[in-house]
Structure 1
Amino acid sequence: MISYNTKDWFTFIFRFHKADTFRTLMPIMLAIGAYSGIVGYLEVEYWKLADNSYVKNITIMHGMLGFVISLLLVFRTNTAYDRWWEGRKMWGALVNNSRNFSIKLSAMLHDEKDRKYFRKMIPSYASILHKHLNDDDTSKQLFEDVDLEIDHHKHKPNQVAKMLFQKINDLYDSKKITGDQLIILNEEVKSFTDICGACERIKNTPIPYSYSAFLKKFIFFYVMTLPFGYSFSLGYYVVPVVVFIFYVLASLELIAEEIEDPFGSDENDLPTQKIAENIKKHVEELI
């Protein structure tokens, strides 16, 4: 995730980060600029359409549809940001639940062997969830001195949660914790699985295809018709105007596409690996 100063206006205006949409859209912006110039030339210089031509009234359509496209883009960006923020809340909850789990185990357990087991396994869940959400394979060598015994053809976070609960149940069977303590610790393990399910829901349920495809087509045809109406009043200045309008509309769509899946490797995605490392540090301090 990009670190920046929210109050530094000039950095935002004049700096082009590699994640900036301007870099991504540059080829198509040049193509649209050339297209707008050709349309402007044909209307003004070649066809020499009169000012009372019906083509000039196309701008009425743009005025009517501008409000519609703005509503669609607002809904699109808000929906994408809600997914990004929900993912951040889920990982924030994982941090807090890992801390609470560690604090309770630290007070309940006195055997150093048991404490060492949870000191390794609780951070393991966060690390494997990070790998799981990024669709990367997790190997047994990921964590030193811990034999995870994971079957890689199965759901990895579920296997780690199962191992955590199995250990807690073994502690109860060996009378190291009471039945009330077993219930308390069981809720902490359950919260891990709930968080995993919520993250998978975000990961596996993108914006409906029909909505996304329609919005892209809407932006494309809206921009492609702009030069026909505004060439009369702007002349060749229609080129930068149309390019700028396309940049604004397409950038909003690109930003929404990037943040709607917050668990990837894009510049603006959540730093889940860093969060998992912080969980490891906090758990080792507590247990």
Structure 2
Amino acid sequence: MISYNPKDWLAFIFRFHKADTFRKLLPLMAVIAIYSLLVAFLEIEYWKLSENSHVKNITIMHSILSFVISLLLVFRTNTAYDRWWEGRKHWGALVNNSRNLAIKISGMLQEEQDRKFFRVAIPVYASILQKHLNDETTSHQLDEEYTIPINHDHHRPNQVARSLFQKTNELYKQQKITGDQLIVLNAELQSFTDICGACERIKNTPIPFSYSSFIKKFIFFYVMTLPFGYVFSLGYYVIPVVVFIFYVLASLELIAEEIEDPFGDDPNDLPTRKIASNIKKHVGEIL
């Protein structure tokens, strides 16, 4: 995730970050510029269309469709940001629940051997969940004494959650915690799986293909028809104007594509790896 100063206008305007859409769209912008130049040359120099040509009236279509395309892009970006923000809220809940579980364990358990298991096991869930959502294949051993074997053919976070609950249940059978305390701890342990399911819902339910495909086609054909009508009023200046319009419209779609899956490694995705590292640090301090 990119850290930045929102008040530094000069940095935003004159510096291009590697995640900036300008870099990604530069090849397409060059193609659009060549295409606009070709259309302008044909209409001005070859066909020599007059001001009375019906081609000039294509701009009426653009005026009507501009409202439609603005609504589509607003809905697209808002939907993508909602997914990004919901993912952030769930990871924030994971941080709080991990701390709460560690605090309760710290107050309930006195033996260092039992506290040590949770001190190492609680952060493992966040780490495994981060890798699970990012499609990373990894095995995770707690230490020489506590080992959680990870089967990559099965749901990895569930395996860690099962180990946490099994340990909690053993403490109850050994009468190291009471039944009421077991119920309290169970609520925190259950919240881990709830958060995992919510994150999986975000990751595994993309924007419908037909909707995403339609927006891309709409932007493409909208931009492709711009030079035909605006050549009459702009001449060869239509080239930078069309390229800029394409840059704005396509950038909104690219931004939405990037943030709608907030658990990857894109520059604007959630810093889940850092959050998992902070959970490990905080739990270690508590226990």
Number of aligned positions between the proteins: 286
Question: Identity percentage over the alignment?
Answer: 75
Summarize the alignment of residues 4-23 of structure 1 with structure 2, pairs less than 5 Å apart: 4-23=4-23
Partner of residue 68, structure 2: 68
Partner letter of residue 225 of structure 1? T
1:214 partnered with 2:214: yes
How many angstroms apart in 1 are the aligned matches of 2:125 and 2:105?
A: 16
Partner of residue 267, structure 2: 267
How many angstroms apart in 2 are the aligned matches of 1:238 and 1:109?
A: 73
Partner of residue 120, structure 1: 120
1:232 partnered with 2:238: no
Partner of residue 48, structure 1: 48
How many angstroms apart in 2 are the aligned matches of 1:186 and 1:201?
A: 23
Partner of residue 203, structure 1: 203
After superposition, what is the alpha-carbon deviation per residue over 1:60-98, rounded to whole angstroms, capped at 9, x for unaligned? 000000000000000000000000000000000000000
Partner letter of residue 212 of structure 1? S
Partner of residue 192, structure 2: 192
How many angstroms apart in 2 are the aligned matches of 1:251 and 1:264?
A: 19
How many angstroms apart in 2 are the aligned matches of 1:182 and 1:281?
A: 25
After superposition, what is the alpha-carbon deviation per residue over 1:2-25, rounded to whole angstroms, capped at 9, x for unaligned? 010010001000000000000000
CA RMSD of superposed structures (Å): 0.7
Partner of residue 170, structure 2: 170
Summarize the alignment of residues 79-158 of structure 1 with structure 2, pairs less than 5 Å apart: 79-141=79-141, 143-145=142-144, 146-158=146-158
After superposition, what is the alpha-carbon deviation per residue over 1:26-63, rounded to whole angstroms, capped at 9, x for unaligned? 00100000100110110111101110111000000000
Q: Which runs of 5+ in 1 are unaligned?
A: none
Alpha-carbon offset, residue 152 of structure 1: 1.8
Alpha-carbon offset, residue 138 of structure 1: 1.7
Partner letter of residue 123 of structure 2? P
Partner letter of residue 207 of structure 1? I
Alpha-carbon offset, residue 144 of structure 1: 3.6
Structure 1 range deviating more: 35-44 or 144-153: 144-153
Could you tell me whether the CA contact under 8 Å between 2:81 and 2:259 is conserved in 1?
yes
How many angstroms apart in 2 are the aligned matches of 1:193 and 1:41?
A: 62
Matched position secondary structure for 2:285? helix
State the 4+ residue runs in structure 1 displaced beyond 4 angstroms: none
How many angstroms apart in 1 are the aligned matches of 2:130 and 2:16?
A: 29
After superposition, what is the alpha-carbon deviation per residue over 1:97-143, rounded to whole angstroms, capped at 9, x for unaligned? 000000000000001000000000000000000000010112134x4
Could you tell me whether the CA contact under 8 Å between 2:40 and 2:228 is conserved in 1?
yes
How many angstroms apart in 2 are the aligned matches of 1:144 and 1:30?
A: 55
Q: Which runs of 5+ in 2 are unaligned?
A: none
How many angstroms apart in 1 are the aligned matches of 2:84 and 2:174?
A: 43
Partner letter of residue 196 of structure 1? C
TM-score normalized by the length of structure 2: 0.99
Partner of residue 257, structure 2: 257
How many angstroms apart in 1 are the aligned matches of 2:40 and 2:149?
A: 67
Partner letter of residue 58 of structure 1? I
After superposition, what is the alpha-carbon deviation per residue over 1:140-193, rounded to whole angstroms, capped at 9, x for unaligned? 34x443311222211000010011000000000000000000000000000000
How many angstroms apart in 2 are the aligned matches of 1:180 and 1:60?
A: 71
Structure 1 range deviating more: 268-277 or 147-156: 147-156
Summarize the alignment of residues 20-39 of structure 1 with structure 2, pairs less than 5 Å apart: 20-39=20-39
Matched position secondary structure for 2:138? coil
